[in-house]
Amino acid sequence: MNNQSELDTFIADKYEPQGPVVLDCQVNNIYYGDFRAVRDTNIPVEKNKVTGFIGPSGCGKSTVLRSMNRMNDLIDSFRFDGQIHYHNQDIYSKKVDAVVVRRYIGMVFQLPNPFSMSIYDNVAFGLRLNRFKGDEEEMVVRALERAAIWNDVKDKLNNSGLSLSGGQQQRLCIARAIATEPDVLLMDEPCSALDPIATRQIEELMIELKQHYSVALVTHNMQQATRVADVTAFMGVDISKGGRTGHLVEMGDTQQIFEDPRQKLTQAYVRGEFS
């Protein structure tokens, strides 16, 4: 971080995906009002893999993740410059409806956020939203099973979703997100509010989930990235004039990023020299 001018213009080497890419994220710039939060960040999310986003606080990893299903549209000052291709369609194209995007690209948030309805209704919510015609109950049960929470809740499906413990609530939210069979699951630090046991359960669940879905995972916990992510993107922050702009530093196989990082900044970060 000593040489500012070098960092200002630094652009990460292109990562060559090894498998089919579901969500090809090419960010030129992301602004909040006048503040440039993220620049030059290309992150392809590969099919049936977990793509981890790591980096220090304020490097824009959550911003990039939330851009991937246009959740940031809800923030007035947000401005996106770039493309995010989902099956060859740019989700930021003027013709695209953000609401439809979010039905295919689901999201799990940092804090568990079940609705104040029964456990069953929470999971069935997305199905009803999409006017799902089929066996709703079967889909709900399957989502709960895949989210590894079926055994905890099978006897109390009519209880409030808010009556569950934090870890259970988060798994309920995952069940809710996958009930509609989305393509991609964006997870924004899904374990940061959970205890170690719940965290381990969610991590095991993420490894299970990638059989069916492609997962993009923001995490502040490097061990979590090594345990769960197949591919890891490391983002850093420029300390340049007038703001702190985050950008991609290095992306590659998780093993390579942690054991043989090419960039000095990555090396320093994975060694725990700053966070």
> Residue count at the site for another protein (CB under 8 A)?
31
- CA-to-CA dists, residue 42 to 29, 49, 83, 172, angstroms: 11, 17, 10, 31
User: Which of 163, 165, 255, 275 touches another protein by CB under 8 A?
Assistant: 163
Q: How far apart are CA 29 and CA 37, in angstroms?
A: 8
Window 173-212: contact mask with another protein (x via CB under 8 A):
x--xx--x--------------------------------
Judged by CB under 8 A, does residue 4 bind another protein? no
Stretch that binds another protein, among 85-93, 155-163, 209-217, 224-232 (CB under 8 A): 155-163
Judged by CB under 8 A, does residue 118 bind another protein? yes
- If the CB atoms of residues 124 and 251 are measured against another protein, the closer one turns out to be 124
Smallest separation (angstroms) from another protein to the CB of 16: 31
Q: How far apart are CA 196 and CA 122, in angstroms?
A: 25
Q: Which of 22, 14, 66, 64 is nearest to 39 (CA)?
A: 64
Contacts of 89 (CB under 8 A, 6+ apart): 96
Query: In whole angstroms, how large is the CA radius of gyration of the chain?
Result: 19
Q: Interface with another protein by CB under 8 A: which residues?
A: 69, 71, 74, 99-104, 106-107, 109, 111, 113-118, 125-126, 129-130, 160-163, 173, 176-177, 180
